[in-house]
Chains A and B, each alone.
Chain A
């Protein structure tokens, strides 16, 4: 579980995160959503320590991350996996070497044990035949899967995903979402996902935080989001005409004027 208390971050005079508090529970996909520039990436980078917050506290299972010594942070970070927007795979290493890197660095396993673990993880993300390929030789979706494999190879307690669907087609996005969701449940990880993909929100959003100009504007689940009364959130999620239509149909269904299941959104 990650508990965030009154998080504050500013660059110069510009306040990017303003007094945000939230609890990210284990075994759940916690989504941070919001428009570009709303502070999502800064928020997630504060959580993992890539940015130092100017105020507030971040607690990992009760341990205060913000006031930790470097050595303690290093130890904690071995329980953290992160999938980056651009996958951040090491260009000069093969898929197998990328996934093996955390094992090489932090474990004393024999080469055959490491190889076994890498094969298991790559199989878990449905990448069996790409071991010897370099990142430049595989597709965007495959890179994301390698990124996930590298992030979970040390069995972390916390998984962070920065826009896991960016640059992917809708079908591949669904595969990646499903994969992240499955590993979250399987390993009972606290997963924090930063996205603005509404498909992801509706598919895997156990717990959603909507950020608006650095402020937590709304919090809830994918079951509640389309019924939200927040105008800012509605402007964000119903930006497309299609979704507006879906919302109108939902309203008619709720009033009993029409019957049936609206495609595209799960209630």
Chain B
């Protein structure tokens, strides 16, 4: 299949999700399950990644700012902006593409191969709406929250690393944190989070939903889904930066 075939089938899959649910309560239940899987299930890795990225960015920024003419509070400013603009949304979402993306692709792939999707179709359920839509909606709900948590923890991790290593005092860090803050950066980070949330959920759903074959193909689909999602995240990252900054 060519890229255009894939893209066309992907668009048809998205279009196919928009039908009236057979039973709102069951869709709501599925949405809550997906919110729990995607949100709570990924929280641990997001916390760890955010803390260390914040800490490392403080240490590396301090390493590069060797001039005495530059106040130490600048380190906090740089850490704040890089975490909010890039690290929290992009790095978190690349990690989530691996964690959430592979889970979505393998779950749907397994359902396809073991005929569970066919079983739902036979019952008269729109499987695109019932299986894919809740995953995309749950990603829209949970991934921006995870990005906000990553941003907050990233800055806190940077602060802790700065203080514990004696690079700068808590007062200097807070001074830098508050100076020249642009609220638009948060809006930009959230715009990225929503865009990446769609990529992370819909692309793996596509590769999982249309799997053909057996266990080997599920593994391949999962890998392709993660790789494609990561590339699309980086591509969208560039486009958004070019358009919005």
The chain A residues found within 8 Å of chain B, CB to CB, are 48-50, 70, 73-78, 80-82, 84-86, 88-91, 101-102, 104-106, 150, 160
Q: Is B174 part of the binding interface, using a Cβ–Cβ cutoff of 8 Å?
A: no
- Ordered by A's residue number, 27 sampled pairs between the chains whose C-beta atoms are within 8 Å are A48-B122, A49-B121, A49-B122, A50-B121, A50-B122, A74-B124, A74-B126, A75-B124, A77-B121, A77-B124, A78-B124, A81-B122, A84-B115, A86-B115, A88-B114, A88-B115, A88-B118, A90-B116, A91-B114, A101-B123, A104-B23, A104-B25, A104-B26, A105-B22, A105-B123, A106-B123, A160-B122
A86 in contact with B22 (CB, 8 Å): no
The residue in chain B whose Cβ has the minimal distance to the Cβ of A162 is B115
The chain B residues found within 8 Å of chain A, CB to CB, are 19, 22-23, 25-26, 110, 114-116, 118-119, 121-126
Question: B116: which A residues are within 8 A, CB to CB?
Answer: 88-91
- C-alpha gap A105/B23 in the complex (Å): 6
Question: A104: which B residues are within 8 A, CB to CB?
Answer: 23, 25-26
On whether A105 and B119 interact (CB within 8 A), knowing A74-B22, A86-B114, A88-B114, the answer reads no
Partner among B19, B26, B121, B122 whose Cβ is within 8 Å of the Cβ of A105: B26
In the complex, besides A74-B126, A101-B123, A106-B124, 10 extra interface pairs with C-beta distance below 8 angstroms are A49-B121, A49-B122, A74-B124, A78-B124, A80-B122, A82-B118, A82-B119, A85-B115, A88-B115, A105-B22
Q: Tell me, rounded to whole Å, the shortest Cβ–Cβ distance linking B120 to chain A.
A: 9
The residue in chain B whose Cβ has the minimal distance to the Cβ of A50 is B118
Q: Tell me, rounded to whole Å, the shortest Cβ–Cβ distance linking B113 to chain A.
A: 9
- C-alpha gap A88/B23 in the complex (Å): 21
The residue in chain A whose Cβ has the minimal distance to the Cβ of B33 is A92
With a 10 A CB-CB cut-off, give which of B23, B115, B123, B126 has the most chain A CB atoms: B123
